[in-house]
Amino acid sequence: MRRKWFMLLVGLLAVIALSACGSKSKDDVIKDLNGKIEEMKGYKATAKMTLEMGAEPQIYEIEVWHKDPSYYRVNLKNAQKDQSQMILRNDEGVFVLTPALNKSFRFQSDWPQNSSQAYLYESLVKDIVEDKVAKFSETKNHYVFETKTRYQNNQMLPTQEITLKKSDLSPVSVKVMDTDKNALVKVEFSEVKFNASFDKKDFDMQKNMTGAQLHVPVLAEVDNEEFSVKYPSEFPGANLVDEKELKTDNGKRVILTYDGEKSFTLIQEKSVVMPVSTFTTVKGEPVDLGFTIGALSNNTIKWTYQGVDYVIASTDLTKKELVEVAQSVQESTVK
């Protein structure tokens, strides 16, 4: 009888020992993530991104291709608004394509290394590794990290919750949160294929512009209906002092002038569909505004949304403030 109980006790201790060996610490998981990144040659991922920054949630379908070390292709499509944009990085630079308008911006930028990117795996790993005080927990099938973000406007979105599969460390979901821990950006990954194979031409600008236009054809022209003027809800240290409306060949151009300690000018006009694919070189960087990708430089930020071109110019606003004002334009209601 004693022998029987002794054997049962030995078996129980063995199970406990095995369980303890199977549990990984935060440092163990981070070490595994670093190893994963070092070995990874590239990946393909599909995800859904939900933005809770405006009056209504905006939902984007995202397809990510990454070929080590620095080739990227990120396709973002808003099915509700029939909008599509693509971010490309190749040897020629970083491009933001708007296929329906036959337009693209080209940047000499270190994107995506310069900021958090909720839909890029290696960016999420970097956020985890660099935050020495990141919170760590686990469930039966997942590891969960809560980290600081590296956004230009990270005072608005300072933290994120990153959930990874235990089986292969692939991303499951990301929640980017405001100071009250409300998730304003949610990314849910549906498929991640590590070590996917690519051809160099897969990241060619012209090939991707043409390919994207098969799904989102070039518009014959932008809707002639007059657009509603939008006003920023954030304008630190400035007041609206002038509003001008000018007639153009394409309709109207509206110029809003804000004066004060943080003066700036906001210009809005209908987008023009280019007859042939062209790109504009920008001394700056692409910036994710949530609803679209903008072009940010030292003194200006430009973006296109729902057939309207926007430009904010200022010698007083910092880059961070330019982004915040731009985001508030789309969050606001028309006056």
Mean pLDDT lowest among 193-202, 268-277, 326-335: 326-335
CA distances from 128 to 121, 124, 208, 243 (A): 11, 6, 32, 46
Q: Dump pLDDT digits (tens) for 141-158.
A: 999 999 999 987 667 889
Radius of gyration of the chain (CA): 24
Candidate ranges 8-12, 19-23, 167-171; pick with highest mean pLDDT: 167-171
Q: For residues 54, 181, 190 and 99, what is the CA-based torsion angle, rounded to 10 degrees?
A: 30
Residue 217 is given by DSSP the state: P
Residue 86 is given by DSSP the state: E
| Fold type of domain 26-215 | outer membrane lipoprotein receptor (LolB), chain A (2.50.20)
pLDDT of residue 306: 81
Find the helix or strand (DSSP H, E) in which 48 lies.
strand 42-51
Q: Where are the domains of the chain?
A: 26-215, 238-270+297-331
